[in-house]
Amino acid sequence: MALNNNRVVVVTGASRGAGKGIAIALGATGATVYVTGRTQHEGDAPLPGTVQATADAVTAAGGVGIPVYCDHANDAEVQRLFEQVKEEKGRLDILVNNATSLHDALTEKGPFWEKPLELTDIWQVGMRSHYVAGYYAAPLLLANGEGLVVNTSSFGGRIYMHGPAYGAGKAAVDKMSHDMAVDFRPYKVAVVSIWMGLLLTERTQRVFESEPDKYAGLVSTAETPEFTGKVIDALARDPRLMGKTGKVWIGAELGAEYGIADSGGKVPMSHREFFGDTTTYGDVVVE
């Protein structure tokens, strides 16, 4: 794969949250990072963060941040995104599919029929959108003769977490990663799902701050969004990358394998033991 400072990367859904942290961490390697999202101005969304602000942070970290305003529910806009990458760079080294629709009612207690149907929007942006991005990114990845597609996911693909809409969306992403990898393998393009842990995103921090005593014990177990970006960087540099394709990987365990620490030298925990045996569901092997 291209040297770090020559990499071309697309990170979707990066106005804030996991995508923002991943983009900044990859930018810190010197990469050119196309940052996508819908938020153009502060105040457009209930949480802080804009596409431009993330792109600026990527550049400040040592890379080249390029903001692209893109609604990943709109296939035409996604197509234009990759046309822009082709025109400006002619290739793509890493695609990180992170754009996900998370309804505010996601974490509310109660059965699924008492929650808004809009929770199923995660099947559109967060499942189908990953497929569409991979579809339009494929010619650019093939142009390299090698590449990496990362679909961000979670333990919710195997256990009950936030209800059936969320679980179905994450499970589909994991299986899609497996099947995309089959098609990409002859071209030396790897595809993986990475299960992230509890992240210190703007959304999570808002919850923590609302009830600090209740969540005091969780704060110390949370990962920064940048940690996943560091893991993706190491994964892309792994000479055994194609041996990891088509599988679901727990980000914290990959971090331990590659000797990656989070901010302050913290080593994130896996959560595998806490959630029980999650390794034998369906066609996807969790390593």
246 Ramachandran zone, left/alpha/beta (phi>0; psi -120 to 50): left
Sequence-distant (6+) residues with CB within 8 A of 211 are none
166 as an active site residue: the answer is yes
Determine contact, residues 15/50, Cβ cutoff 8 Å: yes
Q: d(Cα 146, Cα 123) in Å, to the nearest integer?
A: 29
- Give the DSSP H/E element, type plus range, for residue 8: strand 8-11
- Helices 129-144 + 75-88 axis angle, to 10: 20
Q: d(Cα 140, Cα 89) in Å, to the nearest integer?
A: 9
Q: What is the CA radius of gyration of the chain?
A: 18
Determine contact, residues 195/222, Cβ cutoff 8 Å: no
Query: How many angstroms separate the Cα of 13 from the Cα of each of 37, 86, 154, 181, 194?
Result: 5, 20, 16, 22, 16
Instruction: Give backbone dihedrals phi and psi of 204, rounded to 5 degrees, phi first.
Output: -65, -40
The one catalytic residue in 135, 136, 166, 258 is 166
Active site residues: 166
